[in-house]
Amino acid sequence: MGNMELKRKTSMRIALLAIPVLLLFGACSGNHDYSPKPRGYFRIIFPEKTYQQYNSTYPFTFTYPKYAVIERDTTPQKNGKKLINMKYLLNMQFPQFNGTLHLSYESITSKKVFNELTEDARTFAFKHTVKATSIDQGIIHNPDRKIYGIYYTIDGNAASSVQFYITDSTKNYMRGALYFNTTPRLDSIQPVLNFVKKDVDTFIKTFRWKGE
């Protein structure tokens, strides 16, 4: 009797130990098709697009969205080797989207200065080539307002997605660059980028040189 009871207990232990192993093999042998869940993002509530006029003593004016804030930028910056005119360095902040449209104005004093400024704008745009999947150039042309320039659309995970310059080609020059203060990831910022791009377009469409 003692030996039979011992054998019975041993058999029960073996059976109990075998159950998890069988369950594991059963789970692995199933023909289940697992796929990773797509990355989720917070739902973004966009504000209504309403605009206001920007007026100052500066030699230009434009309209900008009411959910943006315009501030003077006092950080020393350069266009190439030349120090930017600090009096006309502005940031159009989009606090809700953690983004900034950097704006810098300079006077054109010669053909040489004009060529340097436009070449600098091109250099700044194409420095993002490493991260960009493509960089497209669009012509800005509005003779009625004496607005001419280039609009750079930078696709991919580059730090800046939009850059441009506008000029009257004789006296005035304005450059803009849109940056988001976050790690560049196009799939996450695309809805915000599309939204803010419309504000950049409105800026260009409503931009005026004073005295023109």
Secondary-structure class of domain 51-209 per CATH: alpha beta
- Write down the pLDDT at residue 184: 58
**Single-letter residue type at 4:** M
Q: How many CA atoms are closer than 13 Å to the CA of 192, on its beta-carbon side?
A: 24
- Residue in 88, 53, 95, 58 with CA at minimum distance from that of residue 73: 88
- Write down the pLDDT at residue 189: 80
Domain boundaries, the chain: 51-209
- Residue in 122, 78, 106, 87 with CA at minimum distance from that of residue 173: 106
- Write down the pLDDT at residue 79: 55
Its pTM stands at 0.74
| d(C-alpha 117, C-alpha 112), whole Å | 9
- Write down the pLDDT at residue 160: 86
Other C-beta atoms closer than 10 Å to the C-beta of 189 total 22
Token code pair at residue 167: 């000029």
- Extract the residue ranges of the chain whose pLDDT is less than 70: 1-43, 76-87, 183-187
Convert the pLDDT of each residue in 11-48 to its tens digit: 445 444 444 444 444 444 455 555 555 554 456 789 99
